[in-house]
Each structure stands twice: as structure tokens, then as C-alpha cells.
Structure 1
Amino acid sequence: MFVTRKLPQHLGQSGWVSMLPSRPPRPALDGAVSADIAIIGGGFAGLSAARRLSQLDPKLKVVVLEAGEIAEGATGRNSGFIIDLPHEVSSEDYGGSDSDARRHDFKVHRTAIALAQELATQKGWGKDIFDPCGKYNVALGPEGDRHVASYAKQLDKVGEPYRLLDAREIAAVTGGSSFSSAIYTPGTVIIQPAAYIRGLADSFRNPVKLYENTPALSFEREGVSWKIRTPKGSVKAGKVILANNGQAQNFGLFRGQLLHVYTYASMTEAFRPERLGGERSWAATPAFPMGTTVRRVRGDDGDRILIRSRYTYNPRMQVSEGAIERAGRVHDRKFEARFPGLKGVPMQYRWAGAMALTWNGVPAFGEIEPGIFAAIACNGVGATKATASGIAAAEAALGMDSWLVQVFRGFAAPRRLPPQPFLTIGATANLSMKEWSAGLE
């Protein structure tokens, strides 16, 4: 039997959720139900797994259990990038003997994009929810410029398209004069993550059933099936997909293998579009790892700027209001430095979002018990890697030996983490050093 020790907690008000109209949640599970496959977790991984299962076998009975309401957790706190190429632009990411492996990564990422694109086409979404506009990596100074130039050379080696922008050209995009250079890659999709995941959740029809506000409290072997207990009911299923990311550790799984890191974001009040030149919708990741992600979000009531930066190691999987406030002060400085013309525009929303990482950067994936399949640890690129992991878990649960399943099965096992207190000291120091190295970026 696997019993959870605690339920997820989420602090701060996500701007993505707050901008949307209210949505009545699906009813909580009340009573006993049965399914062919049960999925624990209603985020990118879990709902992508459910969609893939329904594609492969429309008659399959699938039950999805979400502890809270759809989009209220980490998924709705995401920055909204479904990337085909990595955020990081350091030269060691590409080229040399690793070129084939990197192309492998691109194909995995594009598998996630393909599922999202199919959903967007089916739902008839506009660019406010799903925008295949590409993304920018932006630099704020000479060191960042060197990283951008290095990235371009490595993309040449693997034959990926891009466009370099000088300070004037990126200013025409962002409306600000702070950025010194940028590189544009066309394959990324930017989404409104809360709207996207709500739309995915609401796309399901029988025999796929989604229960919200229904945390899994325990699961145990019962004959040839697994029985999942919830506060007011239970699910009996032949197979289970764990898609609850770091929360899997609360069931006693992957102990000593998952790093629990939180990242922070702030979003401004809506401002008049004419206050800032440039394009009204764009997305940029930083030239340096652990730098600052920036998005301009177009809305009917005006435009907003999203600033995401700051990372903390939180082994207990919870953050404080004070941590959000401290991160917010950093965001305010970064916002003012990048957009001095928007002086006086306040932040309206601030929030924290959880990530699960492994020391060696691999997912926690595979059949960990007979009939229990894990799609855990997105390692920081949640919309993309979690989607791909969910697709692979669905295929593996149906006994498929697809190309994607082979890729995920080919990853090494997550490395064991150092013991405490060395882990906390080392993780905290490492995050601080990387943020310090990013400097202005």
C-alpha cells in the first residue's frame, strides 16, 4: 500500500487563472468506480496521457483524479512555453558528439507540440490561447550577446532555423531599449497555460471521466487490479499512471531522487497598449540559465507583462508568503530595468510554482510496480516535457513499444541525492550561484 503523507499546497494568485472567467469544476468522486486505467494528476502529464489513451482506444475507460481544481496547481502557474528547442543557449547544449542526441530531444519536444496543435485545431482556439509564434532568447549585455552568438553557431551545426536580432531590432519587438541582442527561433508555441489545460480537461467525454477536488489518498494492490482511495470514494483500475510530479514522493516513491524547486512569477495590471511600443504579444527566455523570462500578454482590457525569475529549493514542497514577497521585490526591479516607460504600472498577481527535478536531469519514468507507470519529474520545462512524458506513459501502459516509449525507457535512472543537510546546503548554494552568474540577465 502507498499512502500519501500530505496534499498539494499552492500559494499566491496565478494571473493566468485570474484573467479567465470562472469555471465550475467537474464533480468530486463520490462512491466506487472502475476503470481500465486510472491517472493520478490532472496537469500537463496526466491530461496528455488521458488524451493519448482516448486516441489509441476510444472505448477505453479512463478515470483522471485531480487533487484540486484544474489549472489551480503547477500547470496554471507555468510560463506557457511549449518549446521545440531548449531555453538555455550555452554552447555545451549543442554540437559535437551530442548533435544526434539533441536532434532526438527536438523530436520529443515536437511530439508534445503536435498533440497540443491537434487539440488547438479541434477546439478552434485563437492566438490568445495557442500561438505558434516562436520565441526569443534575449541578452542584456556583452556576456549575454556572446551566448546568443554561440547558440546561433550551434544551431547551424544541427540545421535549425533562427534569426539574429540586434538591439534596434529586438527593441522593435519588445518596445524596450534594454535588450542588447536576441535570437529568434520559430518552433515554440506560447499558450495561456490555464486556458489551455482547462480546454484540454473539458474536451473529454465518456468513457474518459475527470474528477476534480478528488485527491488520491492511497493506492494498493487488490488481486490483479489497483484500488485508489479518495476522500469520498475509490477507483479500481487494472493500471495506474502517476502524473502528479513531485507529489509522488509523498506516497513514498522516488525518495532521495527528486529535487523540489519553486520558481516565482509576477504579472502587471493591464496597461494601455500605446504606453509600450513594439508587438503586443511576444515571449522571451533569457540568454543565461536562471535568468529572467518575460512575456507580453495581449488582452481585451489592455496588455500585461509577465516576469518570471528566482528559484528556491523547498524539500518540504511548500513555500511561504514571505518567499513570494521577496521574489516580487526582485521582479519589480527587473521589470523597471527592462521597461522604464511603464514606471508606475503595478504588479497585480504574484505566485509560486513547483517543479520536480532530478540530479542528472532525467525523468522518473516507467513501470515502477506491476501496472503502475510513472510520468514524473519534468526538470523545469513542464509544458513540453510533461506532455511528452504523459504521451509516453499512455503508450507504455497499453503495451506499445513506440519510438517515444523507447526514448523514455532509454533514460538512465534518477541519481540518488546526497544526504541531508548536505543536499539543502548544496542545492541552495547552486541555485544562488547560478542566479548570481546570470547577473543582469
Structure 2
Amino acid sequence: MYVAKKFPRNDSLSAWVGLLPARQARPALSSAVTVDVAIIGAGFAGLSAARRLSQLDANLRVAVLEAGVVGEGATGRNSGFIIDLPHEVSAEDFGDTSTERARRDITLYRSAIGLATDMAEQYGWGREILDPCGRYSVAISAKGDAHIRTYAQQLKGLGESHEILDAQGIYAVTGSRLYTSGLYMPGTVMVQPAAYIRAVADSLRSPVSLYENCAVLSFQKQAGGWLLKTREGSVSAQRIILATNGHAQSFGLFPSQLLHVFTYASMTEPFDPRRLAGKRDWAATPALPMGTTVRRVSGADGDRILIRSRYSYHAGIEINDGHVQSAGRVHDGKFADRFPGLLGLKMQYRWGGPMALTWNSVPLFGEIEPGLISACACNGLGASKSSAAGIAAAEAAMGLKSPLVDILSKYDSPKKLPPQPLLSIGAKADLKLREWRAGRE
């Protein structure tokens, strides 16, 4: 029997949730039901799996069990990049990656984009939910400029579309004089993550059922499948897809294999778009790993800037307001550097969100034991990697030998982590070193 020792806790309010009307959550399970597949978790992985299962068999009975309210967990704390290309704009990181591995990653990421864009077209979602605007990578130093040029050469070798921008070119996009160069990649899709995941959830139709505020307390093997128990109900299922990312460890799974890292973001109050030059909607990742991600988001009440930076390790999978406020002070400095013309503009929202990493950056994907399939360990890039893992988990649950299942099944096994307290000491030191290397980026 796998018994949950704890459940996800989210104290700070993500801007993406705060900017939406309060959600009317689906009722929790209050009876005993029987399904073909039970999915634990209604984030990128879980709902992508549910969508894919319904495509594969419209008559398949599926129960999706979400511990909280859809969009208010880790997914709604994401920055909203569903990228299509390897993330790091870095000679070191990309240079060690073979062309074969790059193409494999691109296949995974584009499966996530395909799922999202197909739904947007089918249901008529607007750009306030999904915007196929591409992304920029931006530099503020000679080192960052060099990494952008190197990465552009790698993209050229892969035959991938891109455009290098000089300082004036990236200023025309961002309105920031700090950036010294940029690289535009058109394939990324940007989402309002809380709005997107709500829309995916609300698109599900019978015989797929979604239960919110419905934490799974335990699950165990039984004749013919699995039995999952919630506070007021139970589910008998032939198969389970575990889409809980780092919280899989709360059930006692993957001991000594997961690193729990939080990243942080702040978003401004709205401002008159005439105060800042450049485009009104754009998204940029940093040239150097562990640098600063920035988005400008337009709205009816004005525009807002998102700043994402700072990482911290927490073995207990929880942070507090002090961690969020500490990161927020860093964000304030990053914002002031990039947008001095917006002096006096305050941050309205600050929040943190968890990532689940393995030491060698491999996913925890596949059949743990018969009928129990994992789609965990996003290793960052949750919108892309977790969505792809969810699609592949659905295909694996149906016995398909698809390209995605093949790719995810061929990763190395995760390396075992050092014991505590060495793990905490090493993880925190490594994050500090990486942030130091990123510098002002």
C-alpha cells in the first residue's frame, strides 16, 4: 500500500490565479466508482494524459483526482513557456548535447505544443489563454552575447528558425536598454498557465470525470487492478497514472531520487502601456542558465511585467512567506535594472512554485509495477516536459509503443542522491554557485 504522508501546500497567491475569477471547483468524490484509468494530479501531466486517453478511446472511463483546485498548484505557478527547443542558451550546456538528443527533446516539446494548439483551435481559445508568439533569449553581458551566438549556430545546424537581434533590435521588442542582444525563436507557445489548465480541465467530457479538492490518501494493488481511497470515496481502476511530480515522494516512491527546488516570481501592478516602449506581449528567457526570465503581459487594465529569478532547495517540499519575500527583494533589483522608466511601479503579486529534479536530469517515467505508470520529475520546463510525459503515460497505459514512449523509456535511470545532511548542503551550495555565475543576467 502507498500511503500519503503529506499533501501539497500553496500559501502565496500566484498572479495567474489572482487575475482570474474565483474557480467553481468540481465536487470531490463522495462514493465508490470503477474506472479503467485513474489519474492522480490535474496539472500539465495529469490533464494532458486525460486528454490523450480520450483521444485514444472515447469510451474509456477515466477519473482525474486533484488534491486542490485546478490551477492553484504548481501548474498555476509556472511562467507559461511551452517551449519547442532545448532551453539553455549556453555553449557548455548545449555543446555537450548531441544532435540526436536535441531532436529527441524537440519531439517531446512539440508534442506538448501540438496538444495545446489543437485544443485552442478546437475550443476557440483566445490569446489571453494561449499565444503562439515565440520567445526571446536575452543577454546583458559579453558572456551572454557569446552564448547567444553559439546557440544560434547550434540552431542553424539543426535547421531551426531563429533571428539574432542586436541591442537596438531587442530594445524595439522589450523597451529595455539593458539588453545587449537577443535571439528570437518562433516556435514557443505562451500560455496564461492557470487559465490554460482550467480550460483543459473544463474541456473534459464524460466518461472522463474530474474531482477537485479530492486528495488521494492511499492506493494499493487489488485483484484486477488498483484501489485508491480518498476522504469520502474510493476508485477501483485497472491502471493508475501518477502525475504528482515531486509529491510522488509523499507516497514513499522514489526515495533518494528527487531534488525539490523552488523558483520564484513577482508580477507588477498594471501600468499605462505608453510608459514603456516595445511590444505589449513578449516573453524572454535568460542567455545564461539561472538568469532572469521576463514577460510583458497586456490586459484591459494595462500591462504588467513578470520577473522570475532565484532558486532554493527544500527537502520538505514547502516554503514560507519569508522565502517568497526574500526572492522578491531580488526581483525588485532585477526589475529596476531592466526598466528604470517604470520607477515607482509596485509588485502586486509574489509567489513560489516547486520543481522536481533528478541528479542526472532524467524523468521518472514508466511502469513502476504492473498497472502503475509514473509521469514525474519534470526537471524544469514543466509546461513542455510534464505535458509530454502525460501524453506518453496515456499511450503507455493503452499499451502503445509510440515515439514519445520510446524516447522517455530510453533515458538513463536516475542517480541516487547523497544522504542528508550532505544533500542539503550540496544542493544549496550548487544553486548559489549557479546564481553567482549568472550574475546580473
**TM, length-normalised to structure 1:** 0.99
3-state SS in 1 of match to 2:360: coil
| 1:33-86 CA distance string (max 9 Å, x none) | 110000000000000000000000000000000000000000000000000112
Match of 1:81? 81
| 1:76-107 CA distance string (max 9 Å, x none) | 00000000112211124446871122111111
- Does residue 200 of the first structure (1) align with residue 233 of the second (2)? no
Q: How far apart are the structure 1 equivalents of 2:224 and 2:340? A: 63
* Contact 1:14/1:76 (<8 A) preserved: yes
1:76-155 aligned at under 5 Å gives the runs: 76-94=76-94, 98-155=98-155
* Contact 2:177/2:338 (<8 A) preserved: yes
| 1:148-207 CA distance string (max 9 Å, x none) | 111111112111111000111100101111101001111100110000000000001100
3-state SS in 2 of match to 1:430: helix
Shift of 1:123: 1.5
Q: How far apart are the structure 2 equivalents of 1:81 and 1:38? A: 28
- Structure 1 residues 31, 97: CA separation in 2 closer, same or farther (over 3 Å shift)? closer
Match of 2:340? 340
Q: How far apart are the structure 2 equivalents of 1:157 and 1:206? A: 46
Shift of 1:303: 0.4
> What is the alpha-carbon root mean square deviation over aligned residues?
0.9
* Contact 1:95/1:158 (<8 A) preserved: no
Match of 1:8? 8
Match of 2:284? 284
Match of 2:175? 175
* Amino acid of the structure 1 residue aligned with 2:88: E
- Between stretches 122-131 and 307-316, larger displacement belongs to 122-131
* Contact 1:87/1:137 (<8 A) preserved: no
1:218-233 aligned at under 5 Å gives the runs: 218-233=218-233
Q: How far apart are the structure 1 equivalents of 2:217 and 2:246? A: 15
* Amino acid of the structure 1 residue aligned with 2:129: I
- Between stretches 78-87 and 94-103, larger displacement belongs to 94-103
* Contact 1:44/1:197 (<8 A) preserved: yes
Match of 2:316? 316
Match of 2:55? 55
Q: How far apart are the structure 2 equivalents of 1:400 and 1:284? A: 37
Q: How far apart are the structure 2 equivalents of 1:222 and 1:97? A: 43
Q: How far apart are the structure 2 equivalents of 1:374 and 1:87? A: 23
- Structure 1 residues 106, 93: CA separation in 2 closer, same or farther (over 3 Å shift)? farther
3-state SS in 1 of match to 2:203: coil
| 1:111-144 CA distance string (max 9 Å, x none) | 1100011011112111111111110000011111
Q: How far apart are the structure 2 equivalents of 1:23 and 1:68? A: 11
1:12-51 aligned at under 5 Å gives the runs: 12-51=12-51
Shift of 1:11: 2.3
Return 5+ residue gaps in structure 2 as ranges. none
| 1:255-301 CA distance string (max 9 Å, x none) | 10000000000000011111111100000000010000000001011
* Amino acid of the structure 1 residue aligned with 2:319: V
Match of 2:412? 412
3-state SS in 2 of match to 1:392: helix
Match of 2:377? 377
Q: How far apart are the structure 2 equivalents of 1:374 and 1:284? A: 31
- Structure 1 residues 346, 97: CA separation in 2 closer, same or farther (over 3 Å shift)? closer
Q: How far apart are the structure 1 equivalents of 2:141 and 2:4? A: 47
3-state SS in 2 of match to 1:202: helix
- Does residue 69 of the first structure (1) align with residue 48 of the second (2)? no
* Contact 2:86/2:102 (<8 A) preserved: no
Q: How far apart are the structure 2 equivalents of 1:70 and 1:306? A: 22
Q: How far apart are the structure 2 equivalents of 1:269 and 1:95? A: 40
- Does residue 402 of the first structure (1) align with residue 402 of the second (2)? yes
* Amino acid of the structure 1 residue aligned with 2:300: D
| 1:195-238 CA distance string (max 9 Å, x none) | 00000000011000000000001001111221100011111100
- Structure 1 residues 96, 323: CA separation in 2 closer, same or farther (over 3 Å shift)? closer
* Amino acid of the structure 2 residue aligned with 1:141: S
Q: How far apart are the structure 2 equivalents of 1:342 and 1:235? A: 53
Match of 2:388? 388
Match of 2:209? 209
Q: How far apart are the structure 2 equivalents of 1:7 and 1:95? A: 39
Match of 1:240? 240
* Contact 1:294/1:305 (<8 A) preserved: yes
* Contact 2:296/2:305 (<8 A) preserved: yes
* Contact 1:87/1:286 (<8 A) preserved: no
- Structure 1 residues 96, 381: CA separation in 2 closer, same or farther (over 3 Å shift)? closer
Q: How far apart are the structure 1 equivalents of 2:311 and 2:183? A: 24
* Contact 1:261/1:314 (<8 A) preserved: yes
Shift of 1:23: 2.0
- Structure 1 residues 97, 29: CA separation in 2 closer, same or farther (over 3 Å shift)? closer
Q: How far apart are the structure 1 equivalents of 2:270 and 2:97? A: 47
Q: How far apart are the structure 2 equivalents of 1:258 and 1:359? A: 8
Q: How far apart are the structure 1 equivalents of 2:23 and 2:137? A: 34
* Contact 2:88/2:94 (<8 A) preserved: no
* Contact 1:40/1:66 (<8 A) preserved: yes
Match of 2:423? 423
3-state SS in 1 of match to 2:310: strand
Match of 2:359? 359
Give the percent of matched residue pairs that are identical in Structure 1 and Structure 2: 60
- Between stretches 202-211 and 153-162, larger displacement belongs to 153-162
- Does residue 156 of the first structure (1) align with residue 156 of the second (2)? yes
Shift of 1:364: 0.2
